[in-house]
Structure 1
Amino acid sequence: MAGVAPSGSPKQGEWMKGKLVGSGSFGTVHLAMSKSTGGLFVVKSAHSRAEFAALENEVEILKNLEPSPYTVQYLGSERDGDDLNVLMEYMAGGSLADIAEKFGGSLQEDVVRLYTKEILKGLKYLHGNGIVHCDLKCKNVLLGSSGDIKLADFGCARRVEDLKNKCLMKKKNNKSLEHVSGTPLWMAPEVLRNEKLDFAADIWSLGCTVIEMTTGRPPWGASNYDSNPMAVLLKIACGDEIPQFPTHFSKEGLDFLRRCLERDSRKRWTCEELLRHPFISRDSSETTPPSSSKDTASSPVCVLGISSFEGAYDLDEPESPEGNDFSVRNPFTCCKDGRKGSEMQRHGEECGLCSSQNWITIRS
């Protein structure tokens, strides 16, 4: 087994794999323990070509980033026969989706405000390094035991420079851009139309994630989606609506959402502007975060609290029973040229964009 790991991280033979704690379109996630220190971390493993592609992309993104208090730490990667193992920081609190479920199904506005501020700092860091996350949602935001928030799952992430180069090449060859990545209900309209993918796409997804935290439900609600999901995606991509805002949100919160969920991507606020919005910049003494320290390691050194870790790394919806690769051609690239909805729906059914049971992450 050959491995590549930063100095001080567990190396081959120095750690042992524990129980399965999550799975998704990227592969599987197991709890792991360092034999030399007893410290805990997680191991994401890929077993198929599609899973390899997502994990390799995540490794490529994270290993070229300086360690940040706002993104999960990459500890190294190893090849084990036909499998790829990626060692990642363990976040004891699990995902924000898990937290919302454990605290009544949704989060109070003061907590949403705190978490949103930390997510924005993470997005600002990524955007400052030329990276679009592309799959921001509650399942991909993790919580440490001391209240620290970190962005996770970079299998869909893209570098803006790479996107520009690919777009130029594909346009030159008269081909579709084909850079759709993310989870459909959280994706920006222009991304679903396959027209554009840049930092503004993450801002739209942020708005959707705030709604998800506040309501405990996916953006765009849940009624009739299982029966006709393509109609919903067509509405997102080509309609003029935006997701329904929480009815109990403050005026500041509602205005914040309007700045995020602007259908014209050119009018969406940037991370820097949103960090100055009153919803975020309110005096910190009014709402004190669980911990202001970003220097404390979030990975526990004992097995206490593992029971609360169950499901924490189900970062994506389950794969289809057939195990199909969900990298697809976008069905909405021509939605403005007069094609009828029924034709769009048939195309979507053929490409397998949606699961009848769960929304999945598209990897391309």
Structure 2
Amino acid sequence: MSAMCQSVRDCEWVKGKMVGSGSFGSVHLAMNKSTGGLFVVKSARSGTGREALNNEAKILKALKPSPYIVQCLGTKEDRGGNLNVFMEYMAGGSLADVSHKFGGSLHEEVVRVYTREILQGLKHLHQHGIVHCDLKCKNVLLGSSGNIKLADFGCAKRVKDLNNDRGGLANSLLCVGGTPLWMAPEVLRNEMLGFGADIWSLGCTVIEMATGRPPWGVVEGSNPMASVLRIAHGDVVPHFPSHISKEGLDFLSMCLERNADKRCSAEELLSHPFVSRNKQYASSPTCVLEIHNFEDTYESEGHEGTSLGSSGNWITVRSG
């Protein structure tokens, strides 16, 4: 990947099929014509989409490299006026895609592993003063070896930038993006933005992984206004999955604490038994292939794409 990082900005490349889209623009698979290496290119022409892509590129370029953060390989404006941001290719797609392919939800053993790696990514961001602001399964990517990386930093904010401009803080908060059903109460009330906002979103993401549904039981795309008002001004938290372990329930209660000042940090949560107690999780934080005694709860027939088959203490990942 390092050789590609040095050459992708100025290389000749060919655009492949669209692999995603959003309010910012489109995402296409791309190939470096001189090396055959794969990457993805995010493109936007103008408006908020271009601003979001610019923000994402700035945030990622300023960060020290991390195995838990997707890598930006460069930016370039094409002749048509599109801003192109070249990004590392993650073959497994988003956790939302993975969940859909494996029956709609993920086994708790896998949720524990993924949650630990998300926490590692959040710890890295927070140590650099950055709040992701839009953590959810769609914005967490899976590599072909099972490694997890945080992605989609178009809404990310530097806390020091907000604090250094106290007069503009309210306006800055009004510009905070994100997905309402995953956002913390204090953010929806336009009161504050801190690292705890990502921890609340992490709790919502764990629920999403465990159930295959958005938090608060609202289907994404429907009118969420009633739930948004409940999140912002009520005294409730999302419904915890009934099938999750006691450790999982305790972990969720620490993430989904309505008082932002009482939420644990990412570093503190890395010591929680939900992600650290069993050796099978603590010894393999970067690769789902190292999970021992995995129980395949889904039949391989009828599921397209990647399939899992056990071999001893390993999970073999094959492309179907």
Superposed pair shares fold, TM > 0.5: yes
3-state DSSP class of the match of 2:67? coil
The structure 1 residue matched to 2:228, chosen from 230, 233, 254, is 233
Q: 2: CA distance between counterparts of 1:106 and 1:192?
A: 27
Q: 1: CA distance between counterparts of 2:158 and 2:128?
A: 8
Shift of 1:156: 0.2
Q: Is the 8 A contact 2:162 2:172 kept in 1?
A: no
Higher relative contact order (CA 8 A, sep 6+): 1
Q: What is the one-letter code of the residue matched to 2:195?
A: F
Query: Is 1:151 paired with 2:156?
Result: no
Query: Is 1:181 paired with 2:166?
Result: no
Residues 122-201 of structure 1: matches in 2 within 5 Å? 122-166=121-165, 168-170=166-168, 177-201=173-197
Q: Is the 8 A contact 1:179 1:194 kept in 2?
A: no
The structure 2 residue matched to 1:67, chosen from 45, 65, 68, is 65
User: Residue 56 of structure 1 aligns with which residue?
Assistant: 54
3-state DSSP class of the match of 1:195? coil
Query: Is 1:114 paired with 2:116?
Result: no
Shift of 1:175: 6.3
Shift of 1:196: 0.5
Q: Is the 8 A contact 1:112 1:214 kept in 2?
A: yes
Tell me the alpha carbon deviations over residues 151-174 of structure 1, each in whole angstroms, 9 at most, x when there is no partner: 0000000001011123x1236xx8
Instruction: Please list every run of 5 or more consecutive structure 1 residues that lacks an aligned counterpart in the other structure.
Output: 293-306, 310-364
Tell me the alpha carbon deviations over residues 36-87 of structure 1, each in whole angstroms, 9 at most, x when there is no partner: 1101000000122111100000011001112110011110000113110000
Q: Is the 8 A contact 2:11 2:32 kept in 1?
A: no
User: Residue 270 of structure 1 aligns with which residue?
Assistant: 265
The structure 2 residue matched to 1:285, chosen from 280, 287, 290, is 280
1:7–1:219: structure 2 CA closer, same or farther, 3 Å change rule? closer
User: Residue 212 of structure 2 aligns with which residue?
Assistant: 216
Residues 251-266 of structure 1: matches in 2 within 5 Å? 251-266=246-261
User: Residue 318 of structure 2 aligns with which residue?
Assistant: none
User: Residue 89 of structure 2 aligns with which residue?
Assistant: 90
1:308–1:248: structure 2 CA closer, same or farther, 3 Å change rule? same
Q: 2: CA distance between counterparts of 1:163 and 1:224?
A: 30
Instruction: Please list every run of 5 or more consecutive structure 2 residues that lacks an aligned counterpart in the other structure.
Output: 291-303, 307-320
User: Residue 99 of structure 2 aligns with which residue?
Assistant: 100
Q: Is the 8 A contact 1:72 1:150 kept in 2?
A: yes
Q: 1: CA distance between counterparts of 2:278 and 2:121?
A: 20
Alignment root-mean-square deviation, CA: 2.2
Q: What is the one-letter code of the residue matched to 1:30?
A: H
- Give the TM-score taking structure 1 as reference length: 0.75
Q: 2: CA distance between counterparts of 1:308 and 1:242?
A: 35
Which 4+ stretches in 1 moved above 6 angstroms? none
Instruction: State, as a whole percentage, how many aligned pairs show the same letter.
Output: 66
Q: 2: CA distance between counterparts of 1:217 and 1:41?
A: 29
The structure 1 residue matched to 2:25, chosen from 27, 48, 52, is 27
Tell me the alpha carbon deviations over residues 265-299 of structure 1, each in whole angstroms, 9 at most, x when there is no partner: 0010111110001111112236864246xxxxxxx
1:257–1:162: structure 2 CA closer, same or farther, 3 Å change rule? same
1:176–1:31: structure 2 CA closer, same or farther, 3 Å change rule? closer
Q: Is the 8 A contact 1:185 1:233 kept in 2?
A: yes
User: Residue 241 of structure 2 aligns with which residue?
Assistant: 246
User: Residue 294 of structure 2 aligns with which residue?
Assistant: none
